Chain A
Amino acid sequence: MNPSAQRIELHPAYILHSKPYRDTSLLLEAFTRDHGRIGLVARGVRGNSGRRKMPLMAFRAYLMSWSGRGELATLSKWEPHGPPGKLSGSSLMSAYYINELMIRLTHRHDAHPVLFEYYREVLDCLSRHTLSEACLRYFELNLLDELGYAPDLGHEADSGEPVQAQASYCYLPEQGAMRAYGPCPGVRVGGKTLLELSERSLSDADSLKESKRLMRAVLQRYLGDRPLKTREIFRQSLNPSDRDQST
């Protein structure tokens, strides 16, 4: 999308990250439905001024109006869209991880309407608290899929044959899944996990655990060497369940 001067009215958007700017403003990184990820400045929204009446928070759906040219547009109006999110506790931590992935892997001004829907889904899924680890894995896959990096989990990389549920595989991020016979330089993973993950139907603790290791290796390829900050922080977490499940 061409970031030239434009005025957008009441467009669906989420805030991925916000930072204080000057005395009373915020710099926002927003993810919008039809304009992708954009940088916004929200003036006069902090402190005790009138504009602060409507809070601007991450993980909440808004309708936003903005205008501007170049990298940083000005947020002029916003209103909440739909009911407030119910993220709390460890699902909030997972949501931060999702936002970091979004910021690291999407480019500004690349429109991803489908990804917008996936993003809404994963927040919804996390707030319902059921099988939140599975929600994270499906979102990771959906994100890669939408960016054109989707790994083929249903077929053996060397033979092209469908993956067998009973077989054991070695997954190499650059190549794909191959039957594991000897030592595996990638991630060792069962056929059942590969199939369940590709069908978005992870069923038990073992598949969840394997798919987490697998997706971590797959994502690593696109994230590069710089570690994810959210992951580093969860590592310091004092609560073991957060530490294991948030990312």
Chain B
Amino acid sequence: MSASPLISRLIEALRCLPGVGPKSAQRMAYQLLERDREGARRLAAALEESVERVGHCSECRTLTEDEVCKVCSSNNRERSLMCVVETPADVEAVEGSTGFRGLYFVLMGHLSPLDGIGPQDIGLDLLEKRLKAGEVKEVILATNPTVEGEATAHYIAEMVRALGISVTRLAHGIPLGGELEYIDADTLAHAFTGRKAL
């Protein structure tokens, strides 16, 4: 690479972004330096400030710069419903597509026994404390339909049931607009077992 040391450092730093290889990192660096210094300044300032100030919501663990995030502190949410998700991006997905008006709890991951990631690492002690406070009447488990997501859901379901709170899990099924012929066998088998009366 013939770029100066500082530019090389910038290119290298940009590569920490997902999907950014050496070539795109180089394009980004030159774009910022050649054509958009103002944008670069804003980016640098926003990055700096976010890294300094963004932490976890003390109630639902999602990322926020406030002590309690906007959803948790809102007065317009149904406080008896709680949806448990793996990541902050999952909150956005549920929020953007379902019209769900309850609260969230963000695990920031899932149980992964072989990697040594256990209940406390995904904040289940905090979740238990919140459920014991008695506000929540139904817990909706929206962990991913992976083996780890299932294990996590099982764990949480046991805990929630023991507290006498009702617990539901998102349905597994065939994607809308899909064709049976092209759907993977396991998803189809799941959908078949979970069929509904009409």
Given A53-B184, A238-B159, A239-B162, the answer on whether A232 and B116 have CB atoms closer than 8 Å is yes
Interface residue tally of chain A, by bracket? 20 to 34
- The answer, among B124, B146, B182, B190, for a CB contact under 8 Å with A238, is B124
Note all chain A residues with C-beta closer than 8 A to B159.
238-239
The closest CB in chain B to the CB of A16 belongs to: B114
* B52 beta carbon closer than 8 Å to chain A: no
* B5 beta carbon closer than 8 Å to chain A: no
9-residue interface stretch from B35-43, B75-83, B99-107, B149-157: B149-157
Kindly state the separation between the CA atoms of A159 and B189 in the bound complex, as whole angstroms. 56
Kindly state the separation between the CA atoms of A54 and B182 in the bound complex, as whole angstroms. 10
Count of A-B contacts judged by CB separation below 8 Å: 76
Q: Mark A215-247, 1 if CB is under 8 A from B, else 0.
A: 000000000000001101100111100100000
The reply to whether A83 and B151 contact each other, CB–CB distance below 8 Å, is no
The closest CB in chain A to the CB of B156 belongs to: A238
* B74 beta carbon closer than 8 Å to chain A: no
Q: Mark B9-47, 1 if CB is under 8 A from A, else 0.
A: 000000000110000000000000000000000000000
* A57 beta carbon closer than 8 Å to chain B: yes
- The answer, among B117, B120, B146, for a CB contact under 8 Å with A57, is B146
- The answer, among A93, A229, A236, for a CB contact under 8 Å with B120, is A236
Kindly state the separation between the CA atoms of A88 and B186 in the bound complex, as whole angstroms. 15
Please tell me the number of chain B residues within 8 Å of chain A, measured between CB atoms: 29
Kindly state the separation between the CA atoms of A87 and B120 in the bound complex, as whole angstroms. 24
The reply to whether B189 and A83 contact each other, CB–CB distance below 8 Å, is yes
Note all chain B residues with C-beta closer than 8 A to A242.
155, 158
The reply to whether A236 and B186 contact each other, CB–CB distance below 8 Å, is no
Q: What's the nearest-Cβ distance from chain B to residue A84, in Å? A: 4
The reply to whether B113 and A100 contact each other, CB–CB distance below 8 Å, is yes
* A188 beta carbon closer than 8 Å to chain B: no
Q: List 20 contacting pairs A-B, 8 Å CB cutoff, sorted by A.
A: A19-B115, A23-B18, A54-B184, A80-B184, A84-B186, A84-B189, A92-B147, A92-B150, A92-B154, A93-B113, A93-B154, A99-B114, A103-B114, A233-B113, A233-B119, A236-B118, A236-B119, A237-B119, A238-B128, A238-B155
- Could you list which residues of chain A lie within 8 angstroms of chain B, going by C-beta atoms? 17, 19, 23, 53-55, 57-60, 80, 83-84, 88-90, 92-93, 96-97, 99-100, 103, 229-230, 232-233, 236-239, 242
- Could you list which residues of chain B lie within 8 angstroms of chain A, going by C-beta atoms? 18-19, 111, 113-120, 124, 128, 146-147, 150-151, 154-155, 158-159, 162, 182, 184-187, 189-190
Given contacts A55-B184, A89-B154, A238-B158, 5 further A-B contacts (CB under 8 A): A17-B114, A90-B154, A96-B151, A103-B114, A238-B162
